[in-house]
Amino acid sequence: MSNHQDRIDQLNQKLELLLSKQEGFAKELMSLYQEIEALKKLRPDQLAVEQTIPEPVPEINTVTEPLEPEQHIIQETAEPVTETPIIQPVASNKIKQPKGKSNLEKFIGENLINKIGIAITVIGVAIGAKYSIENELISPLTRIILGYLSGLGLLGFGIKLKSKYENYSAVLVSGALAILYFITFAAYSFYGLFPQLMAFALMLVFTIFGVVAALNYNKQVIAHIGLVGAYAVPFLLSNNSGSVATLFAYMAIINVGILVISLKKYWKPLFYSAFVFTYLIYSSWMIFSYKIAEHFSLAFIYLAVFFVVFYATFLAYKVIKKEKFLKSDVVLLLLNSFIFYGLGYSLLSNHETGKDLLGVFTLVNAFIHFLVSAVLFKKKLADRNLFHLISGLVLVFITIAVPVQLDGNWVTLLWTLQAALLFYIGRAKSVSFYEYLSYPLMLLALLSLTQDWGTGYSNYFSETEITPIFNSYFLTSVLFLVAFGFINWINQKHRVASDEKPAPKLPLAMSFVIPIILLFVSYMSFFLEIEQYWNSIFSASEIDLKPNEEYGHSIYNYDLKDFGSIWLFIYSFLFLTILAFANIKKIKNRILGLSTLVTGVAASLFFLTAGLYILSELRESYIDRALSEYYEIGVMNIALRYVSFAFFGLLWVALIKLSKSAFMKINLKIPIEIVTHISFLWILSSELLNWMDLAGSDQSYKLGLSILWGIYALFLIILGIYKQRKYLRIGAIALFGVTLAKLFFYDIASLNTIAKTIVFVSLGVLLLIISFLYNKYKNVISDEPEK
């Protein structure tokens, strides 16, 4: 048995040994992987100077304890794994450099100094040339010849050094190209030594050479200094004597060179530099020197050339190499498109004929992008993202063309229908790009609709007569609702999965925004129609009391404004009631329920303040009858209050039912009941004032309200005891306290003796009754369960 246990112990030791060796093997694999990745990141010139990593000496594991034959077998099979040399990554295996020469020194000596040197050389040549020109030391022809000799000499010297000093040679070639560009431009623009065709031909030759050199050296520095750096050349010695047409042609040649490079390389810094320089120079010229009569055609032609060249440059490499498009690529394409459109729009809008072609120009932009997307799709030249991006630009420019060429309701309708179509394709067909495009269109359509409302439903004194319901503005709202109803149906049918990782934030947010827009427009469409109807009647009620005098005097029936306000309250109560019952019976959405409750309470409080005040104004008009000789003032001034009370009560029935619904998952019984009692008492108080005012009483705010509040406090006490609701009894006591404070600080000062007697006796009796009830039902109250 003892031998058996020893055998188990030995096997456990071997198992632990193998596990430790396995961990070491994993570390070695990771080191090897890191070394490979580090080598991948090194440039060819860095790989050339890397030293050979010496073979590490294998570690010899010595086992002090003798092993049994089985252990020797296991050890022999495990040894190759544990004794594999550990290869350290390049980052940790530092290359020994000669003393006194650090990596920083290597970078400065071999890379930085030559670039600074060529830059200083070019600047020195420019300064010397400038000095010689200002002091007329040499003739123009001699200057040009010396300039060409300097550039060609530097170019030849750089090419000769290519085989041994490639980086240094690339810098010299770049500087030589910049000098040749400058000399050619100066010879033509400043001195007129070359005809235009010859100058263009020379620049074209230099551009082709620069392209070939950049590709041959595989160095962006040649392209930067030789091509993009050439942008600065025309401005070094500029005295505003040059031709803008020549300048733009010069820039176009440079950009064509970058286009050729983009067929082989995708050098983003090169593209960025050319892009910024081109549009910066062009925009500056437009701001400071552009004249419509002289430059319109020239400006538009070269703007189009720049746009097409950059468009082609952007697409060329990506399409040929079939690479995916990054966010920065998308930004570049969008910037090129919108800068071109913005500058072109500016040119046309300031031109007498061009301002009538803005819509056509916008559609031409859409057609260009459509043509590109059609070719890409048919030839299968690009990935899905690029096709969607360019297709999106088509839709964007069609969208922009609508308000540019049209106005009013057509803009809203086209944007709305376009948003519905894009959302359907995006959500139902699972093409998220189109869905994302539909979101800004929805917001644009909403903004356009609100602008239509502001234009159509104008103020009280509008000269344009609008037929209620049967007008273009209401029809636009209805079609908008139909489109957004369709969008909401698609949104509900094809729901966004909120449990996805990562969750799509924007579609989830829009799934809440879309119903909000739908409800908002549904409410406002009829609200504005009702408001406009009463405004038009009010405007038509004008009576000119002095028609024959220069400064006449007109009156209006201001009761009509009050009628309109109350009917808007009634409509709001009805809308919220329908929404609440629809949610209870069909929708069963908790967020919608909470929103309806909050909005209903807010609307109620607004009615109890502003609404009851407006009703009191109608009552005063009915009693005073100041304008009865001009307008009919009937019983509707009084009856309308009961219509509004009926709809107010209907709303509260719906809100109470909604608060008790199971899907609400919240206990709002106490707050709803408290607000209900406050609202009911408020309306009772208003009704008491109404009837006492009609009866001609002048004590309504004193005698009547105090007694009413005392009676209602007693009612709350009885109800609180019967229903065992402590909060009702506390509320009743608070109400009685307010009533007593009102009695002593407001009522008593102006009441006569009889009125004081009635109020004091009434409130005293009520207090006695309340006290009696508390004493009689004290056991019920004390045994009441806590809630």
Q: What tokens were used for 396? A: 């964007």
- Confidence band, pLDDT 50/70/90 cuts, at residue 83: very low
Cβ atoms of 622 and 636 within 8 Å: the answer is: no
One domain for residues 666 and 561: yes
Nearest to 381 by CA among 445, 459, 307, 322: 322
Question: Does the residue 328 lie in any domain?
Answer: no
**Structure confidence at residue 80 (pLDDT):** 45
CA distances from 100 to 49, 97, 511 (A): 17, 8, 66
One domain for residues 687 and 610: yes
One domain for residues 598 and 677: yes
pLDDT of 88 above 60:
no
**Which of 82, 102, 130 corresponds to the end of one domain?**
82
**Structure confidence at residue 693 (pLDDT):** 85
The tally of CA atoms less than 13 A away on the side-chain side of residue 63 is: 13
Question: Does the residue 169 lie in any domain?
Answer: yes
Residue 591's region, left for phi above 0, alpha for psi from -120 to 50, else beta, is: alpha
Residue 665's region, left for phi above 0, alpha for psi from -120 to 50, else beta, is: left
Query: Among 254-263, 321-330, 599-608, which range has the highest average pLDDT?
Result: 599-608
One domain for residues 708 and 691: no
**Structure confidence at residue 656 (pLDDT):** 92
Phi then psi for residue 757, to 5 deg, are -60, -45
**Structure confidence at residue 128 (pLDDT):** 66
**Structure confidence at residue 542 (pLDDT):** 85
Query: Among 31-45, 193-207, 347-361, 382-396, which range has the highest average pLDDT?
Result: 347-361
pTM of the model: 0.58
Higher-pLDDT residue of 178 and 679 is: 679
What tens digit of pLDDT does each residue of 347-378 get? Answer: 888 888 877 788 888 888 888 888 877 776 76
Which residues, including other chains, have CB under 8 Å from residue 379's CB and lie 6 or more apart? none
- Confidence band, pLDDT 50/70/90 cuts, at residue 192: confident
pLDDT of 75 above 80:
no
- What distance in Å separates the CA atoms of residue 424 and residue 416, rounded to the nearest whole number? 12
Mean pLDDT across 14-34? 77
Nearest to 707 by CA among 667, 744, 739, 665: 739
- What distance in Å separates the CA atoms of residue 288 and residue 303, rounded to the nearest whole number? 17
**Structure confidence at residue 603 (pLDDT):** 95
One domain for residues 72 and 157: no
| Torsion (CA) 394, 399, 402, 408 in degrees, nearest 10 | 170
What tens digit of pLDDT does each residue of 446-483 get? Answer: 998 998 898 888 654 455 567 888 888 898 999 999 99
**Structure confidence at residue 616 (pLDDT):** 92
**Structure confidence at residue 295 (pLDDT):** 85
Give the containing element (helix H, strand E) for 522: helix 505-540
Mean pLDDT across 269-292? 81
**Structure confidence at residue 386 (pLDDT):** 63
Mean pLDDT across 130-147? 74
Question: Does the residue 431 lie in any domain?
Answer: yes
**Structure confidence at residue 531 (pLDDT):** 92
Q: What tokens were used for 13? A: 């030791």
- What distance in Å separates the CA atoms of residue 450 and residue 691, rounded to the nearest whole number? 43
One domain for residues 581 and 693: yes
Question: Does the residue 380 lie in any domain?
Answer: no
Give the orientation angle of helix 292-321 with respect to helix 384-405, to 10 degrees: 160
Cis peptide before 515 (omega within 30 of 0): no
- What distance in Å separates the CA atoms of residue 760 and residue 743, rounded to the nearest whole number? 9
| Vertex 50 angle, CA 44 and 53, to 5° | 135
pLDDT of 237 above 50:
no
pLDDT of 229 above 50:
no
One domain for residues 693 and 707: no
**Structure confidence at residue 70 (pLDDT):** 43
What tens digit of pLDDT does each residue of 291-347 get? Answer: 888 888 888 898 999 888 888 877 776 677 666 666 666 677 778 888 888 888 888
One domain for residues 686 and 782: no
Question: Does the residue 308 lie in any domain?
Answer: no
One domain for residues 121 and 67: no
Q: How do strand 543-544 and strand 554-555 relate by DSSP bridges? A: antiparallel
Question: Does the residue 179 lie in any domain?
Answer: yes
One domain for residues 599 and 731: no
Cβ atoms of 588 and 663 within 8 Å: the answer is: yes
SS3 content of the chain, % helix, strand, coil (to 5): 80, 0, 20
**Structure confidence at residue 381 (pLDDT):** 57
- What distance in Å separates the CA atoms of residue 363 and residue 397, rounded to the nearest whole number? 7
Question: Does the residue 311 lie in any domain?
Answer: no
- Confidence band, pLDDT 50/70/90 cuts, at residue 574: very high
Phi then psi for residue 544, to 5 deg, are -90, 115
Mean pLDDT across 155-178? 75
What tens digit of pLDDT does each residue of 648-701 get? Answer: 999 999 999 999 998 988 888 888 899 999 999 999 999 988 888 888 776 656
pLDDT of 65 above 50:
no
| DSSP letter (8 states) at residue 356 | G
One domain for residues 558 and 682: yes
Q: How many helices (H) and strands (E) does the chain have?
A: 29, 2
- What distance in Å separates the CA atoms of residue 304 and residue 347, rounded to the nearest whole number? 12
One domain for residues 210 and 171: yes
Mean pLDDT across 604-624? 93
**Structure confidence at residue 106 (pLDDT):** 53
Q: What tokens were used for 57? A: 């000496």
Least confident of 18-32, 235-249, 636-650: 235-249
| DSSP letter (8 states) at residue 43 | -
Tell me what percent of the residues of the chain surpass a pLDDT of 90: 18
**Structure confidence at residue 79 (pLDDT):** 43
**Structure confidence at residue 133 (pLDDT):** 63
**Structure confidence at residue 507 (pLDDT):** 87
Query: Over the chain, what is the mean pLDDT?
Result: 77
**Structure confidence at residue 239 (pLDDT):** 44
- Confidence band, pLDDT 50/70/90 cuts, at residue 201: confident
**Which of 229, 258, 273 corresponds to the end of one domain?**
229
**Structure confidence at residue 176 (pLDDT):** 80
**Which of 654, 679, 697 corresponds to the end of one domain?**
697
pLDDT of 2 above 70:
no
**Residue 455 belongs to domain spanning:** 419-532
Mean pLDDT across 15-38? 77
Question: Does the residue 201 lie in any domain?
Answer: yes
Nearest to 59 by CA among 31, 84, 90, 95: 84
**Structure confidence at residue 551 (pLDDT):** 67
What tens digit of pLDDT does each residue of 206-221 get? Answer: 767 766 776 677 666 5
**Structure confidence at residue 521 (pLDDT):** 95
Q: Euclidean distance between the first and final Cα of the chain, in Å? A: 73
Mean pLDDT across 558-584? 95
Higher-pLDDT residue of 600 and 394 is: 600
Domains in the chain, number? 5
**Structure confidence at residue 520 (pLDDT):** 95
